A = this chain, B = another copy of it.
Amino acid sequence: MKRKVTLKQIARELDVSISTVSKALRNSPEISDDTIQKVQAFAKLYNYRPNNIALSLKNRKTNTIGILIPEIVHHFFSKVIRGVELVANKRGYNVIIGLSNESFAKEVINMEMLANGSIDGFILSISKETQQLQDYHHFNETMSQGMPIVMFDRVVPDIKCDKVIVDDFNGAKHAVEKLIENKCKSIALITTKDYVSVGKLRTQGYLDALEESKITPQAELILKIDDNLDYEVHLEKLEAEIEQLFKSNKKIDGVFAVNELYAVSAMKVARKLGLNIPNDIQVIGFTDGVLSKHATPSLTTVSQHAQQMGEKAADLLIDKLESENEDEDESYHTVVIPTELIERKSTK
């Protein structure tokens, strides 16, 4: 089991100094052609590759960016990662991933681990627990140490950093407007508790769309799900709540749900109650994941362009990283990614 070959070993074998080897490999004019040939041949033979860790230490730059997300088993986050990876690799950066599992403590620990030299900057979406606690000291500390942060999707408005967000408000609003256009008279909303920032914004979009059409929102048509439950497990509970909603409001003919799962569950319950989609009830969801595409009927949904978000976030971060030396650009951008209503079979 050989170790990786280093400059020092090459130098010893060829009886030259380390610096000569280093220069020869980079084709320095200081070094004679003879030596360059010799060194490069030897390096190729032994498959020499510079040690990234040593380079990072010397350059005080890791060329690695850290992604910190609440959960990876989610189409949305996976796609964001994909976008980040795409442009990061294109621009010569690696990607390292931390998972908070929606926990504040894990978010803090993960940040500290990565912040101590492992990465040059963060791309993150904050955990639900952090949103509840509203404790953002770790973000501020990290940034005060000169490490840039780009937040996406679930952001904290007060924190000064670059942000990439979905136009949750208008995405929701347009979806509900679509339902209204399609003659829905009694439109239910299935959303999360208010502390989830995106849920709140989508709820506001729903309300705004109703108001603009002079429809008075009715509290009993709004179902707020406790999103702390792991719905992989508590699927029945979710469905029971939706069933209750439908049963006590028989006139519901449209549903807007703030995520895929709620929408698909609503369709399932509706079908169980003997309702036809889209004839009796039309349904629109949020997030264009696999569920929407392959549900029966396929689900009309608000697409967030997750991959594009990831790409944009990575570009913002790398721009900041690479500008830092030249000009101390202390301005922060918030990029809003427009949503798109993808019409499928769950609406008329």
In chain A, positions 1-46 with a C-beta closer than 8 Å to chain B are: 1-4
In chain A, positions 27-80 with a C-beta closer than 8 Å to chain B are: 47, 49-54, 56-57, 62, 64, 72-75, 78-79
A56: which B residues are within 8 A, CB to CB? 53
Do residues B99 and A114 form an inter-chain contact, with CB atoms below 8 A?
A: no
Shortest CB-to-CB span from A288 to chain B, Å, is 10
Do residues B62 and A72 form an inter-chain contact, with CB atoms below 8 A?
A: no
Bound CA–CA A113/B229 (angstroms): 39
Work out how many copies of this chain go into the complex.
Answer: 2
A117: which B residues are within 8 A, CB to CB? 4, 51-54
The residue that A96 contacts in the complex, of B51, B54, B95, B268, with Cβ under 8 A, is B95
Q: Does A145 contact B (CB under 8 A)?
A: yes
Bound CA–CA A238/B85 (angstroms): 29
Shortest CB-to-CB span from A241 to chain B, Å, is 16
Shortest CB-to-CB span from A192 to chain B, Å, is 18
Max chain B Cβ within 10 angstroms of own Cβ: one of A85, A265, A294: A294
Do residues B94 and A49 form an inter-chain contact, with CB atoms below 8 A?
A: no
Bound CA–CA A90/B16 (angstroms): 45
Chain A residues in the interface with B (C-beta under 8 A):
1-4, 47, 49-54, 56-57, 62, 64, 72-75, 78-79, 81-82, 85, 89, 94-99, 106, 110, 112-118, 141, 144-146, 232, 235, 261, 264-265, 268, 271, 289-291, 293-296, 328
List the 7 closest A-B pairs by CB distance, nearest first.
A53-B117, A51-B117, A52-B117, A96-B96, A73-B78, A49-B116, A1-B146
